[in-house]
Amino acid sequence: MKRNALKYVIILAVFSVAGIFYIQLSILKNTYDINEQQFHETATVALREVAWQLLEIAGQTPRFDNIEPVERYSRNFYLVNVNYFIDPEVLKIQLREQFKRHALHMAFEYAVYDPDTETMRYMEYVCAGEDSCRHTPTNYFPESDKHRYYFVVNFPTLKPYMKERIKGWYFMTSLLVVVLTFFGYSIWVIIRQRQLSEVQKTFINNLTHELKTPISSIGLATHVISDKKILETPDRLFSYVKIIHEQSNRLSKNVEKVLNLTTLEKNKIQLVKEEISLGVFVKSTVSRFRQSEAGDRAIISENLPKEEVIVWADPFHLGNILQNILENAVKYCKYQPQPEVILEIRHKKAHLMVKDNGIGIPREYKKKIFNKFFRVPTGNVHDVKGFGLGLDYVYKMVRAHQWKITVTDNPEGGTIFTLIIPLSHE
C-alpha cells in the first residue's frame, strides 16, 4: 500500500473510532438522563400520594387542592409541603408503602420540620427492604421559608441506584473501550511495522552496497593480478595488493558490525570491567584512530586534565564507543574534520566530550539517532557509508555500563557528544 493511501486510511479509521466512541458516550449519557427523569417522575408521584394519605388520615383532604406538595430541592432531596401537622409514625409507614408500591426499592432518609422549634426533627434512615437500620441520617436537611408543615426526603444511594439500573450500558461501553484500545494498538503496530520495514529496507540497501563495493574491488584487483604481465610492473602489482588488503579489511569490519548487532540483539553483553586511567586511555584510543582510514583525514585535538581520572569500565567497549563517535565526527563533515576530545570533572563525574565541526543533527532527529538502523536523512543513502548501527551500539554499551550520554549542538557548528561516567571511587 502506498504511503499516502495508508495515511488516509489511518486518518479515516481514527475519525471513525472517535465517532463511534462519541456516539456510545452520548447514548450512555442519554440513557442515564432518561432513567434519572423516570426516577424523578416516579418519586414525585409517590411523594404526592404520601402527602394525600397524610391529609386523608387527618381528614384534611380539601387542603390538598391549595398546595403544590412536591418540590425537588436538589438531585437527591425532595421537599414535600403538607400544610398541616405531620405525624412522624404515619409518615414513616406511608413512605415505605408508597415507595414499595411504585417500585422504588432503595434506601432513603427523612426528617420533619417542627414549626415550634423551627428545626428539622424525627430524622431517620430507612434501608431498602427494612423498617430501619443502623445508618445515621445526614445532618443536613434543607429548610424552606415558604412552608410551615413539611417533610424532606433524601435518597443517599441514588447515584449507585442509577448506575445499577444501567450497568448493562456501562458494560457495553467498557467493552467498546477495550475494543477501541485494541484497534488503536493495532493501528500503532501497523505504523510501527511500516516504519521498521522502511528502516530495514534502507539497511539492506546500505548493507548490499557496503558489501558489494569491496567484493567488486577485490574481484577486479584479483582479475588484474592474475595476469602474468603484472609481474613486469611491481609498483602496479603492489598497488592492487594494497587495494585487496584495504577492501578485505573494510569487508571484515562490515561483517563484524552485523555480527555485533546479532550479539546485542540476543543480549549477550558481557562486560569485563577494570580500573582505567581515562586520560591515558583516551590518548591511546585517539592515536589508534589517527592511523585508521577515517582518522587519517581528520585533525584531532585533545584537551585532557593533568590529574589522573580513574573510571571503572570495559576497555574494549569503551574504546569502541569513542571510536564510533569519532568516526561519525569525520564522516558527517563537509570540510576538514577537526574533532576535539575534551575530558572534564563535573559534580564528581567524568564528562568525556567529543566536539565536532560537522553538519550537525536537526532537533527532530536527536532522539532517534540512537535507534537501530536509523540514519539522519541526507538525500542519498550512499552519500555517507554506514548501516545506522554505530550509535545504536554506543547507546547499548553506555546503558550496559549504567552511564549517560547526551547530544547537544556545538555553538561553533556541529555536535557535542558527552559521556557522563562516574569516577571509580564514587
Task: Give residue 3's pLDDT band: very low, low, confident or very high (50, 70, 90).
Answer: low
| Residue found under cell 409541603 | 81
Buried b vs exposed e over 99-125: b needs ≥16 C-beta within 10 Å? beebebebbbbbbbbeeeeeebebbbb
Q: How far is Cα of residue 330 from the mean position of the Cα atoms in its chain?
A: 36
Write a three-state SS string for the chain. Answer: CCHHHHHHHHHHHHHHHHHHHHHHHHHHHHHHHHHHHHHHHHHHHHHHHHHHHHHHHCCCHHHHHHCCCEEECCCCEEEEECCCCCCHHHHHHHHHHHHHHCCCCCCEEEEEEECCCCEEEEEEEECCCCCCCCCCCCCCCCCCCCCCCEEEEECCCHHHHHHHHCHHHHHHHHHHHHHHHHHHHHHHHHHHHHHHHHHHHHHHHHHHHHHHHHHHHHHHHHHHHCCHHHHHCHHHHHHHHHHHHHHHHHHHHHHHHHHHHHHHHCCCCCCCCEEEEHHHHHHHHHHHHHCCCCHHHCCCEEECCCCCCEEEECHHHHHHHHHHHHHHHHHCCCCCCCCEEEEEEECCEEEEEEECCCCCCCHHHCCCCCCCCCCCCCCCCCCCCCCCCHHHHHHHHHHHHCCEEEEEECCCCCEEEEEEEEECCC
Task: Judge whether 169 and 95 are in contact, CB under 8 Å.
Answer: no
Task: Give residue 166's pLDDT band: very low, low, confident or very high (50, 70, 90).
Answer: confident
- Dihedral angle of Cα 48, 54, 58, 62, to the nearest 10 degrees: 0
Proportion of the chain above pLDDT 70, given as a percent = 86
Please give the mean pLDDT across all residues of the chain: 82
Per-residue pLDDT at 47: 93
Per-residue pLDDT at 154: 92
Give CA separation, 129 vs 81, 99, 108, 256, 311, in Å: 26, 10, 11, 79, 76
Average pLDDT over residues 177-203: 77
Per-residue pLDDT at 1: 53
For the cut 70, the answer to whether the pLDDT of residue 263 exceeds it is no
For the cut 50, the answer to whether the pLDDT of residue 415 exceeds it is yes
Per-residue pLDDT at 266: 57
pLDDT tens-digit readout, 135-164: 778 878 888 888 889 999 999 888 888 888
All cell numbers assigned to 326: 569519532
Q: For the domain covering 274-422, report its CATH number.
A: 3.30.565.10
Partners of 350 in beta bridges: 345, 421
Choose among 190, 207, 343, 191: nearest CA to 281.
Answer: 343
What is the distance between the alpha carbons of residues 242 and 258, in angstroms, rounded to a whole number? 25
Lowest mean pLDDT among 41-50, 59-68, 369-378: 369-378
pLDDT tens-digit readout, 208-252: 766 776 787 788 778 778 877 777 788 777 887 888 877 787 677
**Alpha-carbon Rg for the chain in angstroms:** 41
What is the distance between the alpha carbons of residues 418 and 353, in angstroms, rounded to a whole number? 4
Task: Give residue 354's pLDDT band: very low, low, confident or very high (50, 70, 90).
Answer: very high
* Interstrand relation of 340-346 and 301-303 (parallel, antiparallel or unpaired): parallel
Amino acid 277 reads S
Please tell us whether the domain made up of 167-265 is placed in CATH 3.30.420.40. Answer: no
Q: Around Cβ 318, how many Cβ atoms within 10 Å?
A: 25
Per-residue pLDDT at 418: 93
Q: Around Cβ 160, how many Cβ atoms within 10 Å?
A: 11
Choose among 273, 246, 235, 388: nearest CA to 324.
Answer: 388
Domain positions in the chain: 3-165, 167-265, 274-422
Per-residue pLDDT at 152: 93
Higher pLDDT, 389 or 55: 55
What is the distance between the alpha carbons of residues 342 and 241, in angstroms, rounded to a whole number? 39
